[in-house]
Amino acid sequence: MFKKPTIILLNLVLVVGLLLPFALKAQEEPLEAGHIPAEEFYRAEVLEVLRNEEEQLPDGAIYRSQTYRVKLLSGPESGKEVEIPDNGVMTLNGGEGLSKGEKVIVYKVSSEVLSEYYIADTYRLPSLILIVIFFFLVAVAFARWKGLTSILGLGVTVLVIAKFVVPQIIAGKNPVLISLIAALIIALVSIYLSHGFNKRTSIALVSTLITLGLASILSFAFVSFGKLFGLGSEQAFYLQLGDFPRLNLQGLLLGGIILGVLGVLDDITTSQSAAVEEIRRAGSQLTLKQLYQRGTSVGREHIASLVNTLFLAYAGASLPMFLFFQADRGQPLWVILNAEFIAEEIIRTLVGSTALILAVPITTFLASYFFSRKNNPQTYEPR
């Protein structure tokens, strides 16, 4: 006889199997990326700064003129030395320019007449790799096995988004449906990988999926009621004018909200389920109602901190947006708040916060129901 968590898992896998063919069904007119001429990119090192001049413009800005001699370190022209100018108000390294020994990315544009070289950016991949390694070491050192499984769950999330969500949306599939399927796969894999296969985790998973469904309905209602069309970001603007002019930007906005909500639900559902189980272990005679009341008391404190945390997370990612309140003094505040790029962030935050609030009673009730049953064996050790 299968246990309830196993039955739940099998049902969810069945749901994925039923939805996946519809998501992968080819559109009659699939999107085709526009043709972009190929460019050659190389790693390079700055050997010498040949020219470094500054000129202050009437508005106070600094116009910098620099010329570098760089050595290509990769590609078929490895070892070749070229001179590359860099002029303007916004030059490399935030306007500070480059110095000898810095690693950069150079791209070459060729025509029938000549070839020109430009410096695209600072080469920072080695630094990023070291930072990622540091994060992995800290996670494993302090969380040990759970830290390792959490990293594996993160890897699955990245793979699902990179190998499933992005290609399917580019191919013209419905962004909302694709994001929902991806959220289901990520939740199934990452929650069990991070927290283990047991009753409290299964309750957290079911609560997450129920809340995610409600959040999807809310996001659709809020986006429609707020008259948002997914045009509130610079990236959406370029997508519309670039390679994918017929991309469903409103669906892309909704899909992004759905995946963002999933990222905050894991924490509150797993911790709330664990809290109810520990309360039950401390008071084995508690009824379902008493267990729900005590679990809700813990959940309210969690909500108070997480709603603020969620706002800070979105605010940190969109900090330049807040500068518009001061920079664009020519427009009244109500006009600025009416802008779509600000309305998108407001709705994104409110959908996520509402989902967090709903997750507490849903998870608390499910956990209270299962853990208050008299035949529920107390077989789970405290963590």
Let me know if residue 324 belongs to a domain.
yes
Tokens representing 253 are 């906005």
Average pLDDT of 314-318? 71
**Closest CA relative to residue 363, chosen from 268, 293, 288:** 268
Phi-psi region of 130 (alpha: psi -120 to 50; beta: other; left: phi over 0): alpha
What is the CATH classification number for the domain harbouring 292?
Answer: 1.20.1640
Let me know if residue 116 belongs to a domain.
yes
Tokens representing 145 are 């096995």
Let me know if residue 29 belongs to a domain.
no
pLDDT at 204 over 50: yes
pLDDT band at 36 (very low <50, low <70, confident <90, very high): very low
> Are residues 275 and 363 both part of a single domain?
yes
Q: Do 66 and 51 touch, CB atoms closer than 8 A?
A: yes
Distance (Å, whole) CA 11 – CA 312: 36
What is the CATH classification number for the domain harbouring 71?
Answer: 2.40.50
Residue 342 three-state SS: helix
The pLDDT value recorded for residue 18 is 46
Residue 293's alpha-carbon distances to 200, 238, 273, in angstroms, are 18, 50, 13
Question: Higher model confidence: residue 232 or residue 45?
Answer: 45
Q: What share of the chain is helix, strand, coil (3-state, %, to 5)?
A: 60, 15, 25
- The mean-pLDDT minimum among 38-42, 79-83, 237-241 falls in 237-241
The residue range of the domain holding 110 is 40-123
pLDDT at 307 over 90: no
pLDDT at 235 over 50: yes
> Are residues 104 and 228 both part of a single domain?
no
Let me know if residue 278 belongs to a domain.
yes
Distance (Å, whole) CA 243 – CA 245: 6
Let me know if residue 379 belongs to a domain.
no
CA 112 from centroid of its chain's CA atoms? 42
Residue 109's alpha-carbon distances to 69, 116, 119, 365, in angstroms, are 18, 5, 11, 62
Average pLDDT of 278-297? 86
DSSP string, 30-53: ---PPP----EEEEEEEEEEEEEE
Number of domains in the chain: 2
> Are residues 44 and 159 both part of a single domain?
no
> Are residues 321 and 183 both part of a single domain?
yes
The pLDDT value recorded for residue 2 is 43
> Are residues 242 and 365 both part of a single domain?
yes
Tokens representing 225 are 């009621």
Predicted confidence (pLDDT) per residue in 252-261, tens digit:
888 888 988 8
Q: Do 340 and 228 touch, CB atoms closer than 8 A?
A: yes
> Are residues 272 and 170 both part of a single domain?
yes
> Are residues 278 and 338 both part of a single domain?
yes
pLDDT band at 55 (very low <50, low <70, confident <90, very high): confident
The pLDDT value recorded for residue 172 is 78
> Are residues 254 and 300 both part of a single domain?
yes
- Name the packing angle between helices 234-241 and 249-282 (round to 10°): 140
> Are residues 64 and 180 both part of a single domain?
no
Tokens representing 252 are 């892309």
- The mean-pLDDT minimum among 25-39, 153-167, 303-317, 349-363 falls in 25-39
Question: Higher model confidence: residue 162 or residue 338?
Answer: 162
pLDDT band at 29 (very low <50, low <70, confident <90, very high): very low
Let me know if residue 364 belongs to a domain.
yes
Let me know if residue 6 belongs to a domain.
no
Predicted confidence (pLDDT) per residue in 77-106, tens digit:
899 999 988 876 566 666 677 888 899 999
Residue 131's alpha-carbon distances to 134, 138, 157, 161, 171, in angstroms, are 5, 11, 19, 22, 34
> Are residues 107 and 172 both part of a single domain?
no
- Name the packing angle between helices 4-24 and 199-225 (round to 10°): 40
> Are residues 106 and 255 both part of a single domain?
no
Instruction: Report the percentage of the chain scoring pLDDT > 90.
Output: 19
Tell me the Cα Rg of the chain: 26
pLDDT at 32 over 90: no
**Closest CA relative to residue 372, chosen from 299, 282, 277:** 277
**Most confidently predicted of 235-244, 267-276, 339-348:** 267-276
What lies within 8 Å, CB to CB, of 251 at 6+ separation is: 174, 175, 176, 230
Predicted confidence (pLDDT) per residue in 292-303, tens digit:
988 888 888 878
> Are residues 67 and 168 both part of a single domain?
no
Let me know if residue 358 belongs to a domain.
yes
Q: Do 342 and 251 touch, CB atoms closer than 8 A?
A: no
Supply angle C-alpha 75, 77, 83, rounded to 5.
120
